[in-house]
């Protein structure tokens, strides 16, 4: 036996090890996917059965938190970006002036990502055990374990109530949140979403739409797709406000890219390559050469191939926010939260407290990764969900938001999440 092993050449050993590695990756990479389909596939029964919104949320977490978190997070960001190709939406955004300066556009981008991620990642029932949510009755029942999702929804509903937004514009945006993750997975992911997962995205976002008061939501995924395509064809037309708002957003997306040697300009061209023709034309961007478009597509497909066959799956979730319940420290009375990642303008990033951390922050600014040092002006103490949005609305509407959040989840907001439990900070 030892003699045989001694005759194994390095080429054979490396090849054998590579084959074994491929087998290990294959076994591990599909483990969560297979488990969630075993759990809910029979109940859904290819559309003959039904899944609840809470179950749908659990299903979509496999792809959004573990399998393709970065890709699907960008798909939601791009879904929002596509709405800027609708003149009625871009004109409203231009009128708010929230996207016309570096500070306001960066805060809007950060807050929007945090708020959407909160209701995608945190339980929409408000309870860690959905079975508890099914048995709660009335407003005097046990407070929710984790009311973050419904506080975020209530805050967005309150902010939206300040503007005249048509139901159809709301509905089209909702459609994109359902459809874009599947489209991006098909185009660039290491795997496509299964029919169960596609339906789960539909069921989950329909529930979000209902909680946002959106009317006339199509009754099936197919009808929703048809509405989206018809609305796009009719309403997505070129307009200067489309171009203006898209420009501010792309500039924020590429804010860390240097202008030297044309790096940022090239980044803009790459972003354009990711747009469908109808979106690109509505935003008045020039069509890019076929070679650049093919290169961008091929590189993303190569990344998907490497993930699929060569890389093991994530051990822990990757998401813009921490979906786990935070713990109070010491005598802390309430929670101010922080995102898991920061843009070029580092909203909610803590200020350095040591020489080492200060030097690190200065280096990040010097390298252009961040444009500013963390500071009180950038809310370095963290965020509260009921305070998010434009600075002019930061300190108002909190009582109404908590009341609406309690109504959405059918039980009171209590503990450190409540206004009573909120620690007063200067």
Asked whether residue 140 carries a pLDDT value surpassing 80, the answer given is: no
The per-residue pLDDT for 139 is 46
Retrieve residue 6's tokens. 């001694």
| 254: confidence class by pLDDT, cuts 50, 70, 90 | confident
Give 269-320 pLDDT, tens digit per residue. 999 999 999 999 999 999 999 999 999 999 999 999 999 999 999 999 999 9
Give 318-369 pLDDT, tens digit per residue. 999 999 888 766 544 458 899 999 988 999 999 999 999 999 999 988 888 8
Average pLDDT of the residues in 43-67: 94
Closest CA to 386 of 125, 106, 154, 139: 154
Average pLDDT of the residues in 157-167: 94
Retrieve residue 226's tokens. 């048809």
The per-residue pLDDT for 411 is 87
Q: What is the mean pLDDT of the chain?
A: 89
Retrieve residue 391's tokens. 């600075």
Top pLDDT among 412 and 284 is at 284
> What is the C-alpha separation between 63 and 67, in angstroms, rounded?
5
Asked whether residue 110 carries a pLDDT value surpassing 60, the answer given is: yes
CB atoms within 10 A of CB 390: 15
Asked whether residue 170 carries a pLDDT value surpassing 80, the answer given is: yes
DSSP 67: I
Retrieve residue 164's tokens. 């005249």
Q: What torsion, rounded to 10 degrees, do the Cα atoms 236, 240, 241, 246 define?
A: 80
Average pLDDT of the residues in 5-10: 67
The per-residue pLDDT for 425 is 40
> What is the C-alpha separation between 14 and 216, in angstroms, rounded?
59
DSSP per-residue string spanning 130-193: HHHHHH--STTSPPPS--HHHHHHHHHHHHHTTS---HHHHHHHHHHHHHHHHHHHHHHSSSPP
Asked whether residue 34 carries a pLDDT value surpassing 70, the answer given is: yes
Please give the share of the chain, as a percent, with pLDDT higher than 70.
92
Separation in Å, CA 385 to CA 54, 127, 173, 317, 339:
21, 18, 22, 22, 12
- Contact criterion met (CB below 8 Å) for 75 and 187: no
Q: What is the pTM of this model?
A: 0.92
Closest CA to 272 of 258, 262, 286: 286
Instruction: Look at 20-29, 186-195, 245-254, 414-423 and tell me which has the smallest mean pLDDT.
Output: 414-423
The per-residue pLDDT for 195 is 96
How many CA atoms does the CB half-sphere of 89 hold within 13 Å? 26
Asked whether residue 426 carries a pLDDT value surpassing 50, the answer given is: no
| 133: confidence class by pLDDT, cuts 50, 70, 90 | low
């Amino acid at each position: 036996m030892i003699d045989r092993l001694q005759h194994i050449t390095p080429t054979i050993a490396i090849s054998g090890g590579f084959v074994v590695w491929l087998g290990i990756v294959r076994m591990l990479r599909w483990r969560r996917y297979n488990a969630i389909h075993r759990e809910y596939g029979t109940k859904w029964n290819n559309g003959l059965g039904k899944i609840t919104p809470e179950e749908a949320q659990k299903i979509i977490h496999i792809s959004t938190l573990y399998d393709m978190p970065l890709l699907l997070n960008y798909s939601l960001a791009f879904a929002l970006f596509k709405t800027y190709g609708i003149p009625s939406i871009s004109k409203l955004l231009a009128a708010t002036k929230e996207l016309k300066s570096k500070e306001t556009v960066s805060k809007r981008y950060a807050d929007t990502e945090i708020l959407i991620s909160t209701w995608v990642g945190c339980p929409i029932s408000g309870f860690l055990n959905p079975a508890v949510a099914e048995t709660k009755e009335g407003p005097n029942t046990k407070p929710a374990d984790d009311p973050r999702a419904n506080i975020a929804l209530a805050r967005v509903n309150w902010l939206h109530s300040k503007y005249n937004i048509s139901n159809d514009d709301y509905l089209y945006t909702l459609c994109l949140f359902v459809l874009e993750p599947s489209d991006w997975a098909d185009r660039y992911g290491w795997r496509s979403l299964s029919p169960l997962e596609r339906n789960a995205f539909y069921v989950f976002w329909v529930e979000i739409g209902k909680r946002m008061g959106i009317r006339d939501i199509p009754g099936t995924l197919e009808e929703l797709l048809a509405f989206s395509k018809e609305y796009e064809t009719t309403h997505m037309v070129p307009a200067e406000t489309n171009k203006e708002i898209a420009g501010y957003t792309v500039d924020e997306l590429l804010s860390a890219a240097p202008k030297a040697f044309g790096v940022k300009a090239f980044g803009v061209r790459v972003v354009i390559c990711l747009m469908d023709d109808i979106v690109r034309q509505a935003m008045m961007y020039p069509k890019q050469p076929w070679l650049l478009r093919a290169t961008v597509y091929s590189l993303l497909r190569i990344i998907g191939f490497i993930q699929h066959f060569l890389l093991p799956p994530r051990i822990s979730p990757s998401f813009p926010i921490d979906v786990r319940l935070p713990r109070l420290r010491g005598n802390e009375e309430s929670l101010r939260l922080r995102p898991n990642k920061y843009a070029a303008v580092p909203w909610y990033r803590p200020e350095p407290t040591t020489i080492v951390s200060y030097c690190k922050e200065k280096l990040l600014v010097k390298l252009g990764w961040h444009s500013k040092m963390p500071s009180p002006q950038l809310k370095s103490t963290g965020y509260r969900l009921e305070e998010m949005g434009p600075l002019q609305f930061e300190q108002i509407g909190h009582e109404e938001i908590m009341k609406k959040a309690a109504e959405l989840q059918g039980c009171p907001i209590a503990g450190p999440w409540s206004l009573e439990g909120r620690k007063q900070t200067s």
